[in-house]
Amino acid sequence: MPTDEREVYRFGDFTLVPRERSLSHRGAPVAITGKAFDMLVALVSDAGHLLTKDVLLQKVWPGLVVEEVNLTVNMSALRKALAVSGDRDWIETVPRQGYRFNAPVTLEQAPHTHLPNRPRRRMQGSHVAALVGVAALVLGVSAWVLPAVHDRIAADLGAGARMAQPDRNEASAQAAHTVNAEAYKEYLQGRFLWSQRSEPGLQRAISHFERAVELDPDFALAYAALADTHTTLGYLGHMPPVSTFPVARPYALKALKLDPSLAQAHAALAYIKFYFDWDWAGAAEEFQRALDLSPNDAITHQWRAVYLRAAGRPDEAQSEVETAHRLDPLSLAINTDVGFHHYYAGRYEEAIAQLQAVLGMKPDFALAHLWLARSLLEVGKLEEAMQETSHAEKSEREWPVLMAARGFTSGVMGKSADARDMLREMHQLSSRRFVTAYGFALVHAGLGEKDEAFQWLEKAFEERSHWLVWLRLDPRWKALRADPRFDALVQRMKYPD
């Protein structure tokens, strides 16, 4: 959200610098998500006054129609960030009306350099060259780290170059892409961080994409990327599904409003319909639309393959993931998904070989360690499975998905004390961050505690856990499948025929 770049706010021991998107407490940086930060700026800049929910929604999500749950979730995140002071409740909730920042605020002015706005105009060859130069710089730095980064960026660059052609619809071209080199640089940096799939990287990616749309409010690709990043935070279990997928939806819709032909936005919307809405028909339609618009988009083929696997169409799923792999053979995420498809097809030895090959490309890629551990578990190599979980924990400490995997494996190995220790750790962690009920259910299943497992699976339905789309395929539930309660859960997912 735009602010005067000279403003520096101080309240208590906090310093808030909007232009740098930084919040610190006694000089130490405070971790805060992008929209929670924008909400804080809005409240602090109008301290002592009531901001209604409608006004706050417009300030934080200008031009977007968003659900009120986004406000509630980000307010919760903001309060947790401010709780580092431990001495007061900074924000007053006025029931059924809005919020008020209740603390003295000091406003200071810092010098800044003013950059004049430039008129938007059609991208000519010089602009293409500038953007390609920016992309080359980003890719040159990052290529050796994670080749998965190239798929979307390569497609974006190709589309960006086509903007200079006179037969392309100008309104659509300028909506999807940007003549603002700085905005495109922010976009590319965000995509690189998104491709790493780590929680800190994803949060930083959001900041880059938000900066991109601040620089160019009509930058459709950046809105689609914001949708992708929020859904990834939810998919990986870093945040609750209700605070990620609904937040992502308005970004995907905004991108489609700016450019209905943007395949990435259709794919992003399909992902939300699949994993959060459990709208199988709607997801299929959006995936098909995305492929009709961009038949060679590797990520769309990758995501559609996952959808088809969960929907019970294994042959089509295999064909799609092979297409994705052919289009981008160096992508770590796609190579990992090849192993993922072997796993869900029961081809565990093939999955192990594939995932070991991925780790040969990048030894610390946590997702590959996770799926390798699950594959080793199914062939009875339990100690090796635990070792792979340990490898992943080196780069992803306190990742609830890994904790659940360790707890389940401990239970299966007969190490019930270790499994119960993990349950205690997960409960303790849940007081500080989101821990999916699906994970608690898994650990109880590993311990052979069916009643507790079903109780937590019910909670997973309540939290709308996206992991439930794998309920009928996940082999870790085999001890529960004969129970009528399990079949009832499967029926509630309304899988397509």
Do 101 and 132 belong together in one domain?
no
Do 155 and 13 belong together in one domain?
no
Q: What's the pLDDT at 254?
A: 95
Q: Which two tokens stand for residue 327?
A: 């289009």
* 63: CATH: 1.10.10.10
Work out how many domains the chain is built from and give that number. 3
Contact present, 247 and 225 (Cβ < 8 Å): no
Domain ends where: 284, 302, 329?
284
Decide if 342 is inside a domain. no
Domain that holds residue 452: 407-497
Decide if 328 is inside a domain. no
Decide if 304 is inside a domain. no
Helix, strand or coil for residue 11? Answer: strand
* 243: CATH: 1.25.40.10
Contact present, 366 and 197 (Cβ < 8 Å): yes
Do 56 and 186 belong together in one domain?
no
Decide if 130 is inside a domain. yes
Domain ends where: 89, 109, 129?
109
Do 156 and 242 belong together in one domain?
yes
Contact present, 402 and 380 (Cβ < 8 Å): no
Q: Which of 108, 104, 101 is nearest to 7 (CA)?
A: 108
Q: Distance of alpha carbon 36 from its chain centroid, rounded?
A: 16
Do 430 and 497 belong together in one domain?
yes
In whole angstroms, how far apart are CA 43 and each of 9, 87, 105, 237?
11, 19, 11, 29
* Close Cβ partners of 331 (under 8 Å, ≥ 6 residues apart): 147, 148, 150, 151, 298, 302, 324, 325
Give the Cα-Cα-Cα angle 406, 409, 414 (nearest 5 degrees).
125
Q: What's the pLDDT at 252?
A: 96
Q: Which of 248, 133, 145 is nearest to 184 (CA)?
A: 133
pTM of the shown model: 0.72
Decide if 293 is inside a domain. no
Per-residue pLDDT tens digits for 147-179: 474 445 545 544 433 333 333 333 444 445 788
Do 100 and 246 belong together in one domain?
no
Decide if 174 is inside a domain. yes
* Residues belonging to the chain: 497
Do 75 and 149 belong together in one domain?
no
Do 212 and 268 belong together in one domain?
yes
Do 40 and 65 belong together in one domain?
yes
Decide if 13 is inside a domain. yes
Per-residue pLDDT tens digits for 332-374: 899 999 999 999 999 999 999 999 999 999 898 999 999 999 9
* pLDDT tens per residue across all 497 residues of the chain: 444 556 899 999 899 998 878 899 888 888 787 788 889 999 999 998 999 988 888 888 887 766 676 777 778 778 888 888 876 789 998 888 899 998 899 888 765 444 334 344 344 444 444 555 554 444 443 433 344 744 455 455 444 333 333 333 334 444 457 888 999 999 999 998 988 888 888 999 999 999 999 999 999 999 999 999 999 999 998 888 988 999 999 999 999 999 999 999 999 999 999 999 999 999 999 999 999 999 999 999 999 999 999 999 999 999 999 999 999 998 889 999 999 999 999 999 999 999 999 999 989 899 999 999 999 999 999 999 999 999 988 888 889 999 999 999 999 999 999 999 999 999 999 988 889 999 999 999 999 999 999 999 999 999 999 999 999 999 999 999 999 999 999 999 999 98
Domain ends where: 91, 109, 127?
109
Decide if 33 is inside a domain. yes
In whole angstroms, how far apart are CA 67 and each of 53, 93, 94, 178?
11, 18, 19, 28
Q: Which two tokens stand for residue 467?
A: 């992991």
